[in-house]
Structure 1
Amino acid sequence: MMSAVILFFSFCGSVQAADASKATNEDVEQLQKPLYSPFIERYILDELRLLRQDQQRLRADVAEKVANAKLEASDRAIRYTADTTNNIFYIITAAASILVLLGWKSIRDINEYMETTTFKRIEEMTLEYEKRLNNLEMTIKERSNQIVDAQKVISDSNLIHSLWMRAGLEKSGQEKINIYNQILEINPKDVEALTYKADMLLDMNDDSWALSLVDQALEYDQDYALAYWQRACAKAKLDHKKDAIEDIKKAIELSSTLREELLGESYFESLKDDPDFLKLVSD
């Protein structure tokens, strides 16, 4: 009798533990989905903050290096000018002594000649070094601008990459369009963003606008296969069957893997009775 009671209570404890474990797993599964997206957003925001900090440090380093380069160039020019001037005065003194020894009695004539020669030489050297300093300054500015431009390109690339990551996580079509608009603000000629935005507009039945976007994308890149594919979808929805088939041919010519998607594309339903379309499927 006692054994039966013990077995009964052990069974009840096992059932309660299983129920508690199941409830805990269900709570964890419910928490995973809403907590996933904020973690990704937090990661992206931290990366952007680190990128801005790196950019600020780079600008400070560039400004410091430019200032040091200008200072070193100025110091070298001043030292060289001072040394050259001293050498000229030594030469003048030696020449005056030689002229006196040779019988040139007019000290005034000697002074005037030496002053004129010295002033002319110093003026020529000053102009030459001013020209060199100006060229050096222009070179430093050009290099600084190149560094800043390169940093901007890197920053824009990282920002666009993070926006594409966000677009991949979004489920709302309108939110994806907003992200594509942000990408196009950074790079208006991004054919991929134009094409994907057109795809979202087709899903929202804004066919004319989608057709305009893929036409714009093809103006920037005439070898982008997906743009021809999206234009074929738009034209098929607008019942321009012949033009749609021509765009499908061009898309498959540029990317043969798209042939496998012909029958699975819902926007090509109106073309499935067309002989030219069926020929593309069978080839």
Structure 2
Amino acid sequence: MYRHLFLLLITLFTSLSLQAEEVTYSEQEYLDRPLMERYILDELKSLRTEQQDLERRMTIQITDRELAVADKSLNYSNTTVTYFFYVIAAVASLIALIGWQSLREMKQNTKEMADKQLNKIAEDYEKKFVALERDLKRKTRIITENNREIEIINEVHNLWLRAQSVQTPEQKMDIYDEILKVRPGDLEALTYKADAAMEMREFHWALNLCNRVLEVDDQNAHALFQRACAYAQLGAEVQAIDDLQRSIEASTSMRELVLEEPDFDPLRGLERFETLLEE
């Protein structure tokens, strides 16, 4: 291509030099001019064609290189993005797995904690309910016992009222026995039963009843008084005065009853007995 360009330049230079000298061409030279022009035109055409071909090849090469670079860039970008997404997916999967395990553990721990708290609350309430039930049973038992005691008190009170209304000591004895059935070992009932036995002139029976009372309460003034009466009727004057003295010491009101009690007639006139009444 450069060779043709050099020849073309030489030819143009020669042509211009000949025209400047204004040489008169011969007829043969005149005939040769179209051939020269034709040659120059062919060379120019060939040169233009080669230039166009060169431009086309250069354009193709540049385009191919640009496409290759673009393709490599795209491949690199694609690979980089793919690896990046792989990394993101792996990290996300790891986080999701760890997070899922953490959520499961948190759920399990929360459930266990809730179960423990519920069990503790249930145990506390169960203990409270047991204590409440025990307390209710105790109070129910106390109420039942109190109701029973009230019934017994009412029944005994009615029996005492009946005992005051009857006339014979035998009837009183039966009522006192009923009181003792309701309240076994009732000291007051035993004492009044001893009094009824004295009215029935059952002195030994009265003495035994008074002894039962005094075994429980040795300072019972009424029982000491009744036993003193029994001793006086049985002729045990010393024991009678001793019990009478103890009875008056336990309750001074017994001294007034001595003055009206006929069972102490065997003791009247005795110095110790009279001294006891004068005190």
User: Does the pair score TM above 0.5?
Assistant: yes
- How many Å apart are 1:163 and its aligned residue? 0.6
Asked whether the equivalents of residues 225 and 251 of structure 1 are also in contact (C-alpha less than 8 Å), the reply is yes
Greater alpha carbon shift after TM alignment, 112-121 vs 241-250: 112-121
Per the alignment, residue 218 of structure 2 pairs with 222
The letter for the 2-side match of 1:104 is: G
- How many Å apart are 1:264 and its aligned residue? 3.0
Per the alignment, residue 4 of structure 1 pairs with none
Asked whether the equivalents of residues 231 and 244 of structure 1 are also in contact (C-alpha less than 8 Å), the reply is yes
Per the alignment, residue 202 of structure 2 pairs with 206
Question: What is the TM-score with the length of structure 2 in the denominator?
Answer: 0.60
The letter for the 2-side match of 1:209 is: W
Asked whether the equivalents of residues 235 and 244 of structure 1 are also in contact (C-alpha less than 8 Å), the reply is yes
Report Cα offsets for 1:53-75 as digits up to 9, x if no partner.
Answer: xxxxxxxxxxxxxxxxxxxxxxx
Map of 1:127-276 to 2, 5 A cutoff? 127-276=123-272
- How many Å apart are 1:256 and its aligned residue? 2.3
The letter for the 2-side match of 1:130 is: E
- How many aligned residue pairs are there? 184
Q: 1:263 to 1:129 in 2, by over 3 A?
A: closer
Report Cα offsets for 1:4-48 as digits up to 9, x if no partner.
Answer: xxxxxxxxxxxxxxxxxxxxxxxxxxxxxxxxxxxxxxxxxxxxx
Q: Whole-Å Cα distance in 1 between the matches of residues 255 and 142 of structure 2?
A: 44
Greater alpha carbon shift after TM alignment, 259-268 vs 166-175: 259-268
Q: Give the aligned CA root-mean-square deviation in angstroms.
A: 2.3
Asked whether the equivalents of residues 163 and 183 of structure 1 are also in contact (C-alpha less than 8 Å), the reply is yes
Per the alignment, residue 104 of structure 1 pairs with 99
Per the alignment, residue 95 of structure 1 pairs with none
Q: Whole-Å Cα distance in 1 between the matches of residues 105 and 164 of structure 2?
A: 88
Identity %: 34
Asked whether the equivalents of residues 191 and 217 of structure 1 are also in contact (C-alpha less than 8 Å), the reply is yes
Q: Whole-Å Cα distance in 2 between the matches of residues 178 and 136 of structure 1?
A: 46
Greater alpha carbon shift after TM alignment, 160-169 vs 219-228: 219-228
Map of 1:58-137 to 2, 5 A cutoff? 104-106=99-101, 107-137=103-133
The letter for the 1-side match of 2:144 is: V
Q: Whole-Å Cα distance in 1 between the matches of residues 179 and 151 of structure 2?
A: 13
- How many Å apart are 1:243 and its aligned residue? 0.8
For the residue of structure 2 that corresponds to 1:104, the secondary structure is helix
Q: Whole-Å Cα distance in 2 between the matches of residues 232 and 239 of structure 1?
A: 10
The letter for the 1-side match of 2:248 is: I
The letter for the 2-side match of 1:193 is: A
Q: Whole-Å Cα distance in 1 between the matches of residues 211 and 132 of structure 2?
A: 47
Greater alpha carbon shift after TM alignment, 250-259 vs 206-215: 250-259
Structure 2: gaps spanning 5 or more residues: 1-94
- How many Å apart are 1:167 and its aligned residue? 0.5
Question: What is the TM-score with the length of structure 1 in the denominator?
Answer: 0.59
Q: 1:117 to 1:262 in 2, by over 3 A?
A: closer
For the residue of structure 1 that corresponds to 2:185, the secondary structure is coil
Q: Whole-Å Cα distance in 1 between the matches of residues 120 and 259 of structure 2?
A: 81
Q: Whole-Å Cα distance in 2 between the matches of residues 277 and 156 of structure 1?
A: 41
Report Cα offsets for 1:178-216 as digits up to 9, x if no partner.
Answer: 100111122223222111110111222322221111122
Asked whether the equivalents of residues 189 and 220 of structure 1 are also in contact (C-alpha less than 8 Å), the reply is no
Report Cα offsets for 1:107-165 as digits up to 9, x if no partner.
Answer: 43333333322322222222121111111111222221221111112111111111111
The letter for the 1-side match of 2:181 is: E
The letter for the 1-side match of 2:100 is: K
Structure 1: gaps spanning 5 or more residues: 1-99
